Amino acid sequence: MQWIAHGLINQDKGIDVEVTANQWIKELINQFLIEETEHKNLKLHDILHDLALYIGEKEFSHAYATDHTRHLSLLGVHVAEARKHNASRAKSKLRTLLVP
């Protein structure tokens, strides 16, 4: 779990870090902040996801490429961030790709 790897879960004496992380996940599910998908994955609730995008839009950029994307511009996006954006989904119909 990335929470453990990033040090967000403190290791208490005698309590396994993974057990603590799983308790947090169960609590977040019970509070409807995250939800389980049909493939046993976890995702943010839609409203919380939209809120996170709204709050982070001034600090982070995001781009969405779909099968129908024809033009994609990553100008103004930091080079390190531009590498993270996946334009491969749009490769069949993509006509324009602008990168820094």
Domain boundaries, the chain: 2-56, 61-100
- Is pLDDT above 60 for 32? yes
First vs last C-alpha separation in the chain: 33
Radius of gyration of the chain (CA): 18
pTM, 2 dp: 0.50
Assigned token pair, 97 = 């790709």
Decide if 24 contacts 9 (C-beta within 8 A).
Answer: yes
**Average model confidence (pLDDT) across the chain:** 75
pLDDT-derived band of residue 88, with 50, 70 and 90 as boundaries? low
